[in-house]
Amino acid sequence: MPDTCYAAIDIGSNAVRLLIKRVKSDEAQMSKKFSKVLMLRVPLRLGFDVFSLGELSDGKSKKLLRLMKAFRQLMKIYEVTDYRACATSAMREAANGKDVIKKIQKATGLDIEIIGGQEEAQLIYKYHIECSAERLGNYIYVDVGGGSTEINLQIDGELKQSLSYNIGTVRMLRNVVEEGVWERMKDDLSHLTEGLDRVDIIGSGGNINRLYRLASKKDKKKQRMSVGSLKAIYDQLSLLTPGERMDAFNIKADRADVIVPAAEIFLAIAEVVRAEYIHVPVIGLADGMIDGLYEKHSQEQNAAIIV
């Protein structure tokens, strides 16, 4: 396949992202190399509307439309071959979510899918596997978002279970996590990991990446930190207001409030599964979406050759 560009639009509860990657294929070596061309993150914070009001406000809807128009133009500038746009937890629950998406489609031509928690978890996990090669052992893959937390259990390279819970950083800030969800998640994880000798966490999402960079003790070579290191930085951050976190740790405003509940989610999961380490590769939903686009086009080309 010739060099191509693929794009992914991730419409999350806290931020909206555009990721564009170029894929260079070497047919002789049967290999491919992904290189990041553009990554934009805009903190629209859709979940602050949805989890409090039940729908997107007119103001947020208009901003999302403007942003999608801008993303559309950027994809044209970078000559994107194909794209995928996915909306997650906030848009799943917004009473007017489908109507907003229809208006965006009419105005921009962009097709946006509202994906379920299970598909979101599997997209993230799929890309984790590609990055980690043949990772043996017991791992819980955890992606913490604004509206939901996606979890995958892998044992010796085999996916055993994909789960999604409506526990997210924005929900926690709004105090709208439904009663019983925490207990259900903990019970599920306790049951899934029962009898396993050791389970480590592989985390994704902007918050765990920032927490990793802030941690004073970490293993950079293995891209991991101990759960104790995460607890130490959490203890420091939790004593400060969002404004004080911004000043003391050079954290952006849209990260300063959600980073503490994100740490709480990771720590709660680590306690249940008795994890010692959290591995923090730089990955996310958008990466998984682009990986899927590449696979789809590769299969289509191979089918054309066979015919």
Q: pLDDT (tens digit, 9 = 90+) per residue, 230-262?
A: 999 999 999 999 999 999 999 999 999 999 999
Query: Do 10 and 75 belong to one domain?
Result: yes
Confidence of residue 121 (pLDDT cuts 50, 70, 90): confident
Question: What pTM, to 2 d.p., does this model score?
Answer: 0.85
Query: Do 31 and 92 belong to one domain?
Result: yes
Domain count, the chain: 2
- pLDDT tens column, 289-300: 888 888 887 777
Which residues pair with residue 6 across a beta bridge?
21, 82
So what's the pLDDT on residue 182? 97
Q: How many CB atoms lie within 10 A of CB 57?
A: 15
Say which residue, 121 or 153, is predicted with more confidence.
153
Domain residue limits at 212: 126-285
Q: Are 229 and 214 in contact (CB under 8 A)?
A: no
Query: Do 145 and 203 belong to one domain?
Result: yes
So what's the pLDDT on residue 306? 47
Run of H or E including 187: helix 181-192
Give dist(CA 38, CA 36) in Å, integer: 6
So what's the pLDDT on residue 225? 96
- pLDDT tens column, 1-45: 557 899 999 999 999 999 999 988 765 545 677 889 999 999 999
User: Pairing mode, if any, of strands 138-144 and 200-204?
Assistant: parallel
Run of H or E including 40: strand 31-42
Point out the domain boundary residue: 116, 146, 177.
116
Q: Which pair of tokens denotes residue 97?
A: 């979510």
- Residues 6+ away with beta carbon under 8 Å from 146: 12, 13, 14, 15, 45, 47, 89, 90, 168, 169, 170, 171, 258
Tokens 């509940």 sit at which residue? 261
Give dist(CA 118, CA 69) in Å, integer: 29
Query: Do 243 and 221 belong to one domain?
Result: yes
So what's the pLDDT on residue 137? 85
Range 214-240 burial, b when 16+ CB lie within 10 A, else e: bbeebeeeeebbbbebbebbbeebeeb
So what's the pLDDT on residue 277? 95
Span 151-156, average pLDDT: 88
33 occurs within a structural domain: yes
- pLDDT tens column, 63-83: 999 999 999 999 999 999 999
Query: Do 112 and 133 belong to one domain?
Result: no
226 occurs within a structural domain: yes
Span 170-190, average pLDDT: 96
91: left (phi over 0), alpha (psi -120 to 50) or beta: alpha
Query: Do 70 and 145 belong to one domain?
Result: no
Residue 211, pLDDT > 90, answer yes
Which residues pair with residue 151 across a beta bridge?
142, 163
So what's the pLDDT on residue 126? 64
Q: How far, in Å, are 14, 186, 283 from residue 8 at the CA level? A: 17, 32, 13
Calculate what percentage of the chain has a pLDDT beyond 90. Answer: 68
Q: How many CB atoms lie within 10 A of CB 96?
A: 18
Query: Do 142 and 200 belong to one domain?
Result: yes
User: Pairing mode, if any, of strands 158-165 and 31-42?
Assistant: unpaired
Give dist(CA 77, CA 68) in Å, integer: 14
22: domain CATH number?
3.30.420.40
